[in-house]
A and B are shown apart, each in its own frame.
Chain A
Amino acid sequence: EDQVTQSPEALRLQEGESSSLNCSYTVSGLRGLFWYRQDPGKGPEFLFTLYSAGEEKEKERLKATLTKKESFLHITAPKPEDSATYLCAVQAAGNTGKLIFGQGTTLQVKP
């Protein structure tokens, strides 16, 4: 069964304190792994797509990496505006756009 597990569930950081979020997955043929950001009361916002092990993507203070079993979202020197819930999702090969989402990691960055 395709499955996505994110850890930790919640993370509190001081401004400038770098850390990483984990997304472990089990899927029958990975077509893509996706990271989203969700602010309270809003829909998820697409961040990155990773397709194969070893691939990396960066956007401002965020960097996503991928191995054969997990993905990491590294946050470097975070700011309070980075506070949000970060969602990971996988798409299995042959699936017509259907995603399996993890439960998310809620990040709080304190000034």
Chain B
Amino acid sequence: DAGITQSPRHKVTETGTPVTLRCHQTENHRYMYWYRQDPGHGLRLIHYSYGVKDTDKGEVSDGYSVSRSKTEDFLLTLESATSSQTSVYFCAISGREGPAGELFFGEGSRLTVL
């Protein structure tokens, strides 16, 4: 199994508070991704990273920012959480060196914004 750890696994917060989700990998892979999964929408890409300090937006990036200061860590930040950001968030890494669709996912972080 790919070494991907997400934290926290569960979080309940209030509207307007900042939230940071962490993804840690032990595979030394260059590409990392953040997806959200919602009923009726499936998995949607928020942001991705193709190297340290190299990131780009996905299809649902509004309200989210990311940072990658080390190869192994990819952080997703909600600067001011809203109820529409209640979701399950998945981090993923590419299965090989380079961008590919063979992704390995973490266990997910369930976020509830009240």
Contacts and interface: CB of A to CB of B under 8 A. Distances in A.
Interface in A52-111: 87, 89-91, 95-99, 101-104
A46 B103 contact: yes
Interface string B73-93: 000000000000000001010
- Residue in B45, B103, B106 whose Cβ sees the most chain A Cβ within 10 Å: B103
Contacts of A91: 100-101
Interface string B43-75: 111001010000010100000000000000000
Contacts, number: 65
B73 to A, nearest CB: 18
A34 B92 CA distance: 14
Interface string B88-114: 001010110011111111111000000
Interface residues of B, number: 27
Contact of B43 (A42, A87, A96, A97): A87
B56 A96 contact: yes
B50 A44 contact: no
B105 A45 contact: yes
A44 B105 contact: yes
A101 B98 CA distance: 20
B103 A101 contact: no
A68 to B, nearest CB: 18
- Residue in A34, A42, A99 whose Cβ sees the most chain B Cβ within 10 Å: A99
A46 B101 CA distance: 9
Interface string A37-52: 0000111111001000
A104 B45 CA distance: 16
A99 B41 contact: no
Given A44-B43, A97-B99, 8 more contacts: A32-B100, A46-B95, A89-B43, A89-B101, A96-B48, A96-B50, A99-B45, A99-B101
Q: 9 shortest A-B CB distances, which residue pairs?
A: A97-B99, A43-B105, A101-B43, A103-B42, A91-B101, A34-B101, A96-B99, A101-B42, A32-B101
